[in-house]
Amino acid sequence: MGLGISLDVHMKLVIATHNRHKVDEIRAIFNLQGVDLLAAVDIPGAPDVEEDGDTFEKNAVKKAVALARFSGCWSLADDSGLEVSALNGAPGVQSARYAGEPVDYRANNRKLLDALRDQSDRSARFCCVMALADPSGKSQTIRGTCSGHILADARGTGGFGYDPLFVPNGYDTTFSEMDAQAKNRISHRARALEAAIRQWGGILNGRYDRFPVPP
């Protein structure tokens, strides 16, 4: 069950990611009826953009702009990761490749647990920055976060990434132990998408064909 977002017009929106997990989560949360929701992996020749920025915002904008210009459609991109207080915000933008290339979720989790072995402060937050870009390359960003703490051992089999280690505040289960509906109500990505509707609803429901001019 998504956020109850139901848009009735027909437009093409490209999700600028090759990560199927992210696409599935966005589809589940974003109930975009009447919108042709495409993923970068579904567009022949779509660029696989290198995420070399030093902030989530820079990476999200870079991906959204590249896919919007390539496809000629509005494009939505996100960059997200885990920020751990005791590690000064690491792994941050390096979350997916924390343990190196290629991406290995289990190796990332092992490295994180090793880094926190002697730390009493286990507080952390997931952060997601969404960028929306028009075909000309103009873009805007929003941010969503979910705070919690890191366990000493992994629990659960669902989700991906650091989900088996992360317990959100107010809960006693990890993201991996939650069903998809529960996670999609409180996750950083859900909160970013809620903010996206508040900020860009006029574009996504067809009332505007450009970003509003700031007052």
Per-residue pLDDT tens for 170-195?
Answer: 999 999 999 988 998 999 999 998 89
b/e per residue 1-20 (b: at least 16 CB within 10 A): ebbebebeeebebbbbbebe
Distance CA 55, CA 80 (A): 10
Contact 14, 75 (CB under 8 A): yes
CATH code of residue 124: 3.90.950.10
pLDDT-based confidence at 204, cuts 50/70/90? confident
Domain encompassing residue 197: 11-204
Contact 25, 48 (CB under 8 A): no
Quick check: is 179 in a domain?
yes
Provide the angle, in degrees to the nearest 10, between the axes of the packed helices 20-29 and 188-204.
Answer: 60
Q: Which residues are catalytic?
A: 79
Q: Mean pLDDT, the chain, as a whole number?
A: 88
* The model's pTM: 0.87
Quick check: is 5 in a domain?
no
Quick check: is 6 in a domain?
no
Average pLDDT, integer, range 15-41? 77
Per-residue pLDDT tens for 29-80?
Answer: 776 666 777 888 888 999 889 889 999 999 999 999 999 999 999 999 999 9
Give how many domains the chain has, as a whole number: 1
Average pLDDT, integer, range 10-15? 82
pLDDT-based confidence at 133, cuts 50/70/90? very high
The kind and range of the H/E element at 194 are: helix 188-204
The number of residues making up the chain comes to 215
